[in-house]
Structure 1
Amino acid sequence: MKIITILTLKTNYIWVIYNQLNECIIVDPGEFVQVLKILNKLKLILKAILLTHNHHDHINGIYELIKHFPNVQIYGPIDILNTGTKLVTVSDKDEFFLLNKKVMVIGLPGHTLNHIGFYYNSWLFTGDTLFSAGCGKVQTGLIRHMYQSFLKIQCFPENTELYPGHEYTLSNLNFALSILPEDPEIVKYNKKITTLHRRQQRIFAPMTLALELKINLFFRCNNNNKNLKYALNCFPKTGKEWKIFRNLRNKKDLYP
C-alpha cells in the first residue's frame, strides 16, 4: 500500500492511496486535474473517495471524478449531503473496509461541526483539524470541540503518520516561536524547515504524531505546561484547559 502526495490550490493536500492491484482511494479531492493525471499515468482504478468535511477546497474535484469513475463510492459527514452526490454518511466510530483494509472514522469536530478524520493502515487523515505545528480555524464548530479533537488525536500511537489537509508548516512554526521563542524543539525544527524551504521544498507532510507532540503548541494546552500558560496569561481551573487552547487559537487568528 502506497500514498501519493498532491499539493494543489497553493496549500491543499490531496492524498492518493493505492495497492498492488492498482486500486485506489482519494482523500479530499479539492480539484481533479492533477488527480486525473496521476490516475491515468499509473493506470489506477478509483474505488472510493474519503471526505473529511464539506468545504469546497476539499470536495470540488468529486464531480469530475464521478464522470470518469461512475461506480466510485464516496464517504463523508452528513453535511455533504447537499452536494448532490451519492454519499455514504459516516460519523465517529463507524468502520468499513476499503481495499481489504479497515477504515475507522474518527469524529474531529471544531473546524466544522461534523468534521471527521479517517484512520487507515496506521495513517490518520486529519483534514483541517490538525496541520503540522498548528490547527485549523474554528469556523462552524466550537473551540471546545477542537480542543477535544486534539485530545483524541493525542491518544493514537506516537508512530502514527498524520496526513493533514493543508501545508502551513513554516508559518505555523513562526507563530509558535512568537509565543515561545526559546523552545528548543520548535527552534530546531524551524531551522530545518526554513533550510528546506529555501531549497524550494514545499511538502512537509506526512509527519508523525511523535514529532507533533514536540513542536505543536496546540498539544500543550494543559495545566502542566507553565511556559505556555504564562505566555498566554491564562491559568484555568482543572477541567477548563480548553481555555488555554482558545487563547492560543485566538492569537493564531491575529497572527500576520
Structure 2
Amino acid sequence: MPLEIVTVPCRADNYAYLLHDAGTGATAVVDVPDAAPIRAALAERGWSLTDILITHHHNDHIDGVAELKAETGARVVGAAADAHRLPPLDLALREGDSVAVGAEQAQVLDVSGHTLGHIAFSFPGAVFTADSLMALGCGRLFEGDARTMWASLSRLAALPPETLVYSGHEYTAANGAFAVTVDPDNPALKKRVADVAAARAAGRPTVPSELSLELATNPFLRATDPQMKARMGMAGAPDAEVFAEIRRRKDAF
C-alpha cells in the first residue's frame, strides 16, 4: 500500500506504528504507549506528526498521547464509545466511519472484546488491530464476552487474506507455546513457531503477520475447523463456544 509503515518498539513488549504518506507529508501514529521512541523515530526520518490514532483506552496504548499532542498539535482520533476514558478526541469515530491519513482512507471496525469500544483501523492491505486479533493469539477478555470477541475476530478474518495484521504486542512466542497445545498436529503452526523463535533470536519483530498465516495457524481463528473442534472434544459445537473454550484454556495456560 502507498503508506510507508514503521514499527516502533515501546516499553517492554508494545508496538506503535508510524504511517507516512510521502505524497502529502501526513504522518500518523497508531497508539502511543510511550512518547519518546515515537519522537525519536519521527526525528530520524524528518517526519512531522499529523494524526494520533487510538485503538483503545488501556494505559499501555495511550500514555504518551498528551505529550505528543502538546508537542505536535496532531489530531487525536479514537472511538466515540470509548471517549469518556481516552485522551480528549478531535475526531470521534464509530463502526463504519472512515479516517484519512494523507491520501489513504482507513475503515473503522468495532472489534470489542478485549475492551468495549476497541476499534481497528483497516487500510487497503493493512489492518491495525492492537489487542483484538494478535499474532498467533487474541487479547484477554477484560470487558467483552467470548461471543463479542468471536464476532470481532470473525469480522477481521473476513478481510482479504493478503492483509497484513499489525497488532499491539510482541507476544507471539508465548502465544505459539500455547497454540501447539491445542493444535499439535498442524504443520503450518509448527513451522511458524520455529520461524518466530528464529526471528526473536535475531532481534526481529514478529509483527506484522499476514492474515492468511493467522487463518492457518492462530487457534483463535480456527474455532470453525471441524478437526480443531474434534480435538477439543467439541465436535459439532457452535464456533463461538469453541472459541470460548480455547480462550479459557489460554487464560489458564
For the criterion TM > 0.5, the same-fold answer is: yes
The reply to whether residue 156 of structure 1 matches residue 159 of structure 2 is: yes
Paired AA for residue 44 in structure 1? W
* Aligned-partner Cα distance in 2 for 1:184–1:121: 30
The reply to whether residue 147 of structure 1 matches residue 150 of structure 2 is: yes
Q: Is the 1:8–1:14 contact (alpha carbons within 8 Å) kept by the matching residues of 2?
A: yes
Aligned to 2:5: 3
- CA-CA distance at 1:190 after TM superposition: 1.0
* Aligned-partner Cα distance in 1 for 2:83–2:59: 10
Q: Secondary structure at the match of 1:53?
A: coil
**CA 1:147–1:82 in structure 2 vs 1: closer, same or farther (change >3 Å)?**
closer
TM-score of the superposition, structure 2-length normalised? 0.93
Aligned residues: 249
The reply to whether residue 220 of structure 1 matches residue 222 of structure 2 is: yes
- CA-CA distance at 1:202 after TM superposition: 4.0
* Aligned-partner Cα distance in 2 for 1:195–1:84: 38
* Aligned-partner Cα distance in 2 for 1:113–1:253: 19
Paired AA for residue 154 in structure 1? A
> Once structures 1 and 2 are overlaid, which stretch shifts more, 109-118 or 84-93?
84-93
* Aligned-partner Cα distance in 2 for 1:86–1:153: 25
Aligned to 2:29: 26
- CA-CA distance at 1:7 after TM superposition: 1.3
Q: Is the 2:62–2:87 contact (alpha carbons within 8 Å) kept by the matching residues of 1?
A: no
- CA-CA distance at 1:245 after TM superposition: 0.2
- CA-CA distance at 1:198 after TM superposition: 2.8
For residues 1-256 of structure 1, what are the structure 2 equivalents within 5 Å?
1-20=3-22, 21-70=24-73, 72-77=74-79, 78-199=81-202, 201-222=203-224, 224-226=225-227, 228-237=228-237, 240-255=238-253
Percent of residue pairs identical: 28
* Aligned-partner Cα distance in 1 for 2:137–2:215: 11
Paired AA for residue 198 in structure 2? T
Which residues of structure 1 form unaligned runs of 5+? none
- Per-residue deviation, residues 52-93 of structure 1 (Å, max 9, x unmatched): 1111100111111011112x1111113233445233211110
* Aligned-partner Cα distance in 2 for 1:83–1:126: 17
* Aligned-partner Cα distance in 2 for 1:121–1:235: 36
Paired AA for residue 58 in structure 2? H
Q: Is the 1:75–1:89 contact (alpha carbons within 8 Å) kept by the matching residues of 2?
A: yes
Q: Is the 1:97–1:103 contact (alpha carbons within 8 Å) kept by the matching residues of 2?
A: yes
- Per-residue deviation, residues 16-36 of structure 1 (Å, max 9, x unmatched): 011225431000111100111
> Once structures 1 and 2 are overlaid, which stretch shifts more, 211-220 or 37-46?
37-46
Which residues of structure 2 form unaligned runs of 5+? none
CA RMSD of aligned residues (A): 1.5
* Aligned-partner Cα distance in 2 for 1:49–1:175: 33
* Aligned-partner Cα distance in 2 for 1:244–1:82: 32
Paired AA for residue 249 in structure 1? R
- CA-CA distance at 1:128 after TM superposition: 0.4
Q: Is the 2:14–2:33 contact (alpha carbons within 8 Å) kept by the matching residues of 1?
A: yes
Q: Secondary structure at the match of 1:45?
A: coil
Paired AA for residue 150 in structure 1? L
TM-score of the superposition, structure 1-length normalised? 0.92
